[in-house]
Amino acid sequence: MLSEFDLIAHYFTRPVRDTARIALGVGDDCALTVPTPGMQLAISSDMLVEGRHFFPDAEPRALGHKCLAVNLSDLAAMGARPVAFTLALALPEARAEWLAPFSAGMLALADLHRCELVGGDTTKGPLNICITIFGEVPPGQALRRDAAQPGDDIWISGTLGDARLALAGYRNELALAPDTLSQAAPRMHAPTPRVALGTALCGIARAAIDISDGLVGDLGHILKRSGVGATLCVDDLPAGAALATQERDLRRRFALAGGDDYELCFTAPAERRGDVLAAALQAATPVTRVGRIEAEAGLRLTDAAGAPIALQLASFDHFASP
């Protein structure tokens, strides 16, 4: 069996690519990075646990991609440009057949975003994957949750609900046609972090969050921290291609409270609509306007005709669910 140090060296140590930004990579007590003068440092950390965030038999290449993607998504939601990340990994055993594709999936996505693996830790234990990611954002331009203002438009990137639809298929909550499941599955296994959109929205959007626990719950964080309310037009929500073929109530529920979407929900002044659309074009990422921030607290849902609708929704809470 490989020793801990062999493991790290073999699958997770590569020569530093960008020596101007990374002064020292994996292999010392600390990594050393060279901050860009005048920029703020954005930091986020996510821990993924087997059986809770992914299935025990998750395909390792996709899992490697997804673990980094959810962290890149946090940078995107802040408008930050990725710089580097650390990986801490608890593994029940050290198997090359798992480590090789896991590291390949993760490092391929890292390369795509010029985000370097600079350090971390490996230990024996129940499978647990913890990534901490660093990015840079110009001072005052970060897209914070507390910055929404009454009158702002509410926008969503991409589409919602296909990741939740795939999960429902795997769990046999729904009987999905094989084609539907195979169409939805990539949204669950290999989310696309909206990094280019996030950085393009700096200076245009006000508040942003990435939708990991479901739109209603995550938008709720913006509303709470900004001290505002909102109205969402439920029928304007962009359903994923697979979800769009399902019946209306399911479509609404999974778009509103699906989870695992990793799209951005952001607000911007109504007079910046043209700039938002230009940023979306520059980032090659579709965006949809779905509602409006209001001074009155609470979240109101309407249908396409503007009539209020009521839905039973549950956001995802890691400790509340069994």
Residue list, annotated binding site for ATP: 120-121, 145, 212
Return the residues of window 46-65 that contact its own copies according to CB under 8 A: 46-53
> Minimum distance between the CB of residue 41 and its own copies, rounded to whole angstroms?
5
- The span from the CA of 29 to the CA of 22, in Å, is 15
67, 72, 84, 197: which one binds its own copies (CB under 8 A): 84
User: One symbol per residue from 198 to 217: x for binding its own copies (CB under 8 A), - otherwise; what is it?
Assistant: ----------xxx-------
Q: Which of 9, 17, 41, 179 binds its own copies (CB under 8 A)?
A: 41
Contact between 17 and its own copies by CB under 8 A: the answer reads: no
Under the binding rule (CB under 8 A), the answer on residue 194 touching its own copies is no
Binding-site positions for substrate: 53, 260, 316
- Show Cβ contacts of residue 281 under 8 Å, excluding neighbours closer than 6 positions: none
Q: Cα 118 from chain centroid? A: 21
Question: H or E segment at 81?
Answer: strand 81-91
Cβ atoms 63, 91 nearer than 8 A: no
According to the binding rule CB under 8 A, does residue 126 interact with its own copies? yes
> Across the chain, which distance is largest between two alpha carbons, in Å?
64
Q: Given the rule CB under 8 A, which of 88-96, 98-106, 175-183, 270-278 is the region that contacts its own copies?
A: 88-96
**72 vs 78: CA distance, rounded Å:** 10
Residue 144 DSSP SS3? coil
Type of residue found at 253 = R
Report 219-238 residues binding its own copies (CB under 8 A): 225
Distance CA(170)–CA(180), nearest Å, equals 12
Choose the stretch contacting its own copies; rule: CB under 8 A; options: 105-113, 130-138, 254-262, 281-289: 130-138
Nearest approach in angstroms of CB 39 to its own copies is 8
Nearer to its own copies, 6 or 173 (CB): 6
User: Which parts of 145-184 interact with its own copies (CB under 8 A)?
Assistant: 145-146
What are the structure tokens assigned to 33, written together? 């990075």
Closest CA to 164 of 156, 155, 174, 154: 174
Closest by CA to 81, choosing from 36, 22, 46, 29, is 36
Residue from 16, 58, 100, 120 touching its own copies (CB under 8 A): that is 120
In the complex with its own copies, the residue whose CB is nearer, 24 or 244, is 24
